[in-house]
């Protein structure tokens, strides 16, 4: 197992342990005082890309997902929340190369993949929605405050790692 795969495996394992805890939501957004895991949103691993080093992991990704995403995007996935499960193991199988939900509430039908294969940094509807640059539907998180630039960078790094894990 490569160091990237080990890092992703550890990050995902921590995510699922934390996500299963009742009442485990941090008291504030990741990076704030008392926000679990030391309150850091630093990127971990990197890989070389056309524009220089690209972060491929983030030590705080599980806390960012827990705080902003896992109130809605859980297992089993619900149509009202785009049928997107960010809680179960192997999220790359539900994000990379996967078209947006096409059910009754699917505002992004035919608009592209949640994460595109082989793009670094990662691109797709998932990235666009957290940056509020989406062509369809609403930015995420839907309710509450927008993620900070550091939190967006953290999830961008996490998504980069997922794209690398799946490959071209």
- Output the tens digit of pLDDT for each of the chain's 168 residues: 454 444 444 344 333 333 333 333 333 455 543 333 333 344 456 555 555 567 888 888 999 998 899 889 999 988 888 889 999 999 999 999 999 887 656 678 888 999 999 999 999 999 999 999 998 888 899 887 889 999 999 999 999 999 999 988
**pLDDT for position 156:** 95
C-alpha closest to that of 43 among 165, 160, 153, 163: 153
Please check whether residue 42 is in contact with residue 58, taking contact to mean a CB–CB distance below 8 angstroms.
Answer: yes
Q: What is the pLDDT of residue 157?
A: 94
For residue 155, give Cα distances in angstroms to 1, 80, 104, 162. 23, 23, 28, 10
> What pLDDT is recorded for position 136?
87
What's the token pair of residue 141? 């998180």
pLDDT at 108: 84
pLDDT of residue 85: 92
Neighbours of 29 (CB within 10 A): 19
Q: Quick check: helix, strand or coil at residue 39? A: helix
Q: What is the pLDDT of residue 46?
A: 57
CA distances from 140 to 23, 58, 61, 102 (A): 22, 19, 15, 18
pLDDT at residue 103 in the model: 66
């Amino acid at each position: 197992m490569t160091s990237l795969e080990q890092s992703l495996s550890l990050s995902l394992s921590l995510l699922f342990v934390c996500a299963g805890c009742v009442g485990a939501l941090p008291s504030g957004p990741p990076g704030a005082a008392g926000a679990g895991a030391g309150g850091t949103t630093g990127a971990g691993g990197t890989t070389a890309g056309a524009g220089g080093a690209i972060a491929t992991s983030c030590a705080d990704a599980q806390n960012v997902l827990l705080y902003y995403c896992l109130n809605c995007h859980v297992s089993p996935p619900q149509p009202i929340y785009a049928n997107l499960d960010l809680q179960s193991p192997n999220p790359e199988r539900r994000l990379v190369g996967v078209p947006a939900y096409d059910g009754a509430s699917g505002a992004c039908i035919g608009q592209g993949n949640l994460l595109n294969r082989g793009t670094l940094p990662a691109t797709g509807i998932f990235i666009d929605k957290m940056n509020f640059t989406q062509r369809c539907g609403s930015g995420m998180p839907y309710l509450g405050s927008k993620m900070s630039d550091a939190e967006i960078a953290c999830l961008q790094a996490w998504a980069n790692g997922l794209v690398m894990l799946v490959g071209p």
